[in-house]
Structure 1
């Protein structure tokens, strides 16, 4: 069925606030290009990239609007394209045959304005994040949009998510499980590195520095283990507006000299960092999958994460490729266990490498293409008793 697929996402990977969602969207789009699709990504504009470009994988990227206005710009550009003008006009690559509406809390509400099939891509439900990042009134409004309004607007659309955990949680919002397909992330190929395991206990956490990533937990782990492991160090890789607060916490805990806030790291730097770390920490409140977990696994590094943090319970095979914690005390205990038990750490690292290798972008791309082939228009008229979609 190859045609033109339009992805709507609030950011792209060149955006300084981009993360795993952006990696997933662009890698899937790139795989679709290899299968004969034309792929366009519409996202917010930012200072680090041009308004329009085609990336090396052949995905056209259109950037308009900002953090909050990209949603309106998407609708306006799509409707203008129907009139033959603007960046989404037919002369600029063909009118989209299908839209993939990526929901990072707030969706683009494409079924309201797009007369094409719409697939809703959601990495995880944001129930826990809203009150962490927004004032109470705004958090309640955002959750109402995500959990009620959006569910109704997308009721006839196919859904795709990256973990069974999210599929189950969507069911609690009223989205039938048979309407949701799971397409896992692939494991990104890290550049080759000559880096070796550090001769001292080294922890690493790769995150956007925002409250719901809970990097404070990683800092608390260092503080709790500092006396028994005098050489213990932590590298915090990533950037974000929460960094100043995290630096203050490190100072308050008396571990500022043990924590390296590395900021943005290149793929080469990330590969070296993961290869040299003893343990990777993912203390996030919620993840759809946990891309950094399998990246660490590809480097033979086990991860400690929280059991109730969504898809991480699938990215980490508890007791085999890392350890899952039930609460903060359990988290600190698991970090201590891995740092002290060399043989266990080595065995889990080897298992993590094999587990990470079982997820490929090629398979993910083929599964996503199959999903697109069965997507139908959200405006179609259903017969009474007819299921919205049948997902194998």
Structure 2
């Protein structure tokens, strides 16, 4: 089996967690499956890169000035589609796997031109990120997300929360959606150097992530006065970059916390790992979190975690067992849980031990790759079963999958349209 993956983000390009997800998934899938990844280049990474059985192809963006974001998305997809269709003309693929709406147009073009089944992973939704749709751009993105799920044979989501979000927003039948969680490679959180990242005896409270409203760093900052009342020796580190950074720094000064809050900006993996080892608590107070990979990263870093009880975070963390959960958007609840953790070393050790066991048993990338490959094989099995024997008898060897996909497209389209109309 050979799978063609489409993603706009892939290392060294890293904006959110999508690129790392595709990297890890493809790495472990490639133990049994050949994986070709088509992504966009950044002018520095090679146009073609071989990593075991994973081959990365980086398309070149058009040298045309783009007036707005929507135009950039279209040009991105044209570049990806050109590269993907060219590759599909040279080798035989079994499945296309698209990651999020930004590659929807390219994925659909390859699907139609090459008559291939499409799998789509929806990592987050525009309505979820923004607690609704408030402008034309958000409505546009939402419509592309719906279109991608409509065109896909199967839709993969990372949590029960996302299952219901995608099902309800895009009116998908339940049996079209598979829940496969994100994973964590705990070896990536091992230290290569010893020693604390900061020379302090204070109890470090550590946040790392994009500094955007949905990640909730502003809630953590508002909780600090109450935390310091109970634990005067606490110190907050907010690592990462994003549009809220200046606002957060200004707010820390307004609150008189400038000497108790550090903003180191973007940090590399080694620095992140050293912060995790030194921190007394890793805190992720997100307002919207489809999965919550940051909680697993904190657990892999052997740090007790406090999260907001929302989305995927609320599913990963069992309160008092492998972490603590606070009310979303509530600084008082967040402060109370952090204080409880800082003042109870036995609790902290128990949470870390249980979290380590959870990572090994449920969130290992080998398990996630196995479950993803099972989705691929189920699609191909159904596709082959539905191909009439009279047609199959006249096909050249190896053409069964493509012919089956071509024949089924019209009937599946009709079924999905009927479902949208409430007739199926």
TM-score bucket (shorter structure)? 0.7 to 0.9
Gaps of 5+ in 1: none
Q: 1:58 is matched with which residue? A: 54
Distance 2:105 2:239 in 1: 30
Q: TM-score, normalised by structure 1?
A: 0.83
Structure 1 322/81 Cα, relative in aligned 2: closer, same or farther at 3 Å?
Answer: closer
Matched, 1:167 2:163: yes
Q: Which residue of 1 aligns with 2:29?
A: 32
Q: Which residue of structure 2 aligns with residue 289 of structure 1?
A: 291
Q: Distance in 2 between matches of 1:108 and 1:221?
A: 43
What does 1:71-90 align with in structure 2 at a 5 Å threshold? 71-79=74-82, 82=85, 84=86, 88=87, 90=89
Q: Which protein is bigger by CA-based radius of gyration? A: 2
Instruction: Kindly indicate whether residue 351 of structure 2 is the aligned counterpart of residue 348 of structure 1.
Output: yes
Structure 1 residues 213 and 81, CA gap change in structure 2 (3 angstroms): closer
8 Å contact kept, 1:42–1:74? no
| Alignment correspondent of 1:12 | 10
Alignment of 1:142-181 (within 5 A): 142-146=141-145, 148-151=146-149, 153-154=150-151, 157-173=153-169, 174-181=171-178
Q: What corresponds to 2:378 in structure 1? A: 374
Q: Secondary structure at the match of 1:42?
A: strand
Deviation at 1:348, TM superposition (A): 1.3
Give the unaligned 5+ runs of structure 2. 63-68, 384-404, 420-424
Q: Summarize deviations over 1:282-309 as a string: whole Å, max 9, x none.
A: 122222221121121123222222212x
Q: Match for residue 275 of structure 1?
A: 277
1:46 aligns with 2:50: no
**Aligned-pair CA distance for 1:237:** 2.3
Counterpart CA distance in 1 for 2:84 and 2:364 is 35
1:125 corresponding residue in structure 2: 125
Aligned residue runs from structure 1 range 233-382, under 5 A: 233-308=235-310, 310-327=311-328, 328=330, 329-358=332-361, 359-375=363-379, 377=405, 379=409, 381-382=411-412
Change (3 A) 1:346 1:80: closer
Distance 1:269 1:254 in 2: 27
Hey, which of these two has a bigger chunk of helix by percent? 2
Deviations 1:295-354 (A, max 9, x none): 21123222222212x111122122211122224132222122212222222211221222
- Give TM-score scaled by structure 2 length: 0.77
Deviations 1:176-212 (A, max 9, x none): 2221112222222234334579742111111122232
Asked if the contact 1:6/1:100 (under 8 Å) is kept, the reply is yes
Q: Contact 1:106/1:142 (CA < 8 Å) preserved in 2?
A: no
Q: Which region of structure 1 is more displaced relative to structure 2, 174-183 or 7-16? A: 7-16
Q: Deviations over 1:43-70 (max 9, x none)?
A: 4x33553444345773414144397535
Question: What is the root-mean-square deviation of aligned Cα atoms in Å?
Answer: 3.2
Other structure's SS at 2:229 match: coil
Count of residues paired in the alignment: 373
Match of 2:400 in 1: none
| Residue of structure 2 in register with 1:114 after alignment | 111
